[in-house]
Amino acid sequence: MKLSRIWPGLVVLALLLAGLEAAVNAGLIRRALMPAPSAIAPVLWGLLESGEVLEPLFATLRLVFAGFAIGSVLGIAVGLAMGWFPAAFRLLEPLVELLRPIPKAALVPALMLFLGIGETMKITSVSLAVLFPVLVNTLQGVRGVDRVMLDAARTHGWGPAHTLLHLVLPAALPFILAGMRISLGLALVLAVLAEMLTGQGGLGFLILDMQRSFLIRQMYAWLVILAVVGLALNGLFLFVERRALHWQPALRP
């Protein structure tokens, strides 16, 4: 069923690869810059089979997940506080507005100055990229909670903490998850970038390093691996989101 819908696309992909192979073999594309797919495949297989892939792969994934977790938790916490307590909003809003528009990629060299080039600095840059979209979405979610339901909660004698946890948080969840989904892509972007700029381990560094050493087949092989990581992360999040929001409609009156 699903296969019948995507096979035309797969055929196009196969044709494209075959065309590339033919073009390289006919000398239309410089082999030193774009090796034939059949020359990249064995290199890719070698990386997978020898287990060489594991260390850089885990380095990048660790960075993405650690940064994503820290950034999300902070973003949700601060977003909830700012949405729920007017005093917190007044205190933090100017700071958030000041920091939010900074392109986080530009912070990497500044962070390198005083955090060095270790994991701390890389995780910090990824968390910062994740923090703001999650924060802003959480804030929107909290603000959007139905007034009627809040009044109902109060008349039922729910305390503020109880209301926050059992009414506001679930109601804001779709917004929070949407923010997290945007951030997951950003987390991978920042992780790859931080690796490229700090020049240490990880998939991002390897792709750049292989290019600069003119190990072009290796560069494409690592790029394929990174693309698969991106695809898998996105798929994983869609799956989690569907699960998490599964019960959502039931909550509505």
Partner 1 sequence: MRLSARPSSGVVLVACLLLLWEVSARLDWMHTPNWPPLTDVLVALAHDTLTGELPLLVGGTLWRMAAGLAAGGAAGVVVGMLFATLPMTARLFGPMVELVRPIPIPAVIPPLVLFLGLDNTMKVTVVALTVFFPVLTNTMQGVAAVEADTLAMGRTFGIGPLRRALRITLPAVLPYILAGFRVSLALALVVAVVAEMIAGEQGIGHYLVMMQFAGRAPEIYATVLVLAVLGYGLNRAFLVMEHRTIHWWFAMGRQADG
Partner 2 sequence: MTQITRRAALTLAALPLAAPPLLGQNLTKLRVSVIPVLDVAPLHAAIREGYFAAEGIEIDTSTTTGGATGLPGLIAGQFQVTFSNTVSILLGVREGLDFRFVSGASRGAMTPPDIFAVMAKKGSGIRSGKDLEGKRIASNTRNNIVWLRGMAWVEKTGGDWHRVTTVEVPFPQMADALAGGRIDAAILSEPFVAGALATHGDTLERIGWPISETAPGGTNAQYVAMKDELNAHGEVFDRFGRALHRGVDWVNARLTDPVLLELIAGFSRVPIERLRQVALPAYPKGVTPGELDDLLVSMKHFGMTGTYPATSSLIFRTAAV
Candidates 2, 5, 212, 243: give the one binding partner 2 (CB under 8 A): 212
Nearest to 197 by CA among 102, 129, 106: 106
Site for partner 1, rule CB under 8 A: 5-6, 8-10, 12-13, 16, 33-34, 87, 90-95, 98-99, 101-107, 109-110, 112-114, 185, 188-189, 191-193, 196-197, 203-204, 207-208, 210-212, 216, 219-220, 223, 226-227, 230-231, 233-234
Q: Contact between 177 and partner 2 (CB under 8 A)?
A: no
* 3-class SS of residue 169: helix
The entry of partner 2, partner 1, none near residue 5 (CB within 5 to 8 angstroms by kind) is: partner 1
Find out whether 186 and 133 touch, Cβ atoms under 8 Å.
yes
The entry of partner 2, partner 1, none near residue 227 (CB within 5 to 8 angstroms by kind) is: partner 1
The entry of partner 2, partner 1, none near residue 213 (CB within 5 to 8 angstroms by kind) is: partner 2
Residue 1 burial (CB count, 10 A) = 4
Candidates 57, 190, 193, 197: give the one binding partner 2 (CB under 8 A): 197
Q: Which is nearer to partner 2, 1 or 32 (CB)?
A: 32
Q: Which helix (H) or strand (E) holds 79?
A: helix 54-84
26-32-33-37 Cα dihedral, nearest 10 degrees:
60
CA distance 232 to 63: 16
Q: Contact between 118 and partner 2 (CB under 8 A)?
A: yes
Q: Which is nearer to partner 2, 112 or 182 (CB)?
A: 112
Taken as a whole, the chain contains a residue count of 253
Alpha carbon 19 to its chain's center: 33
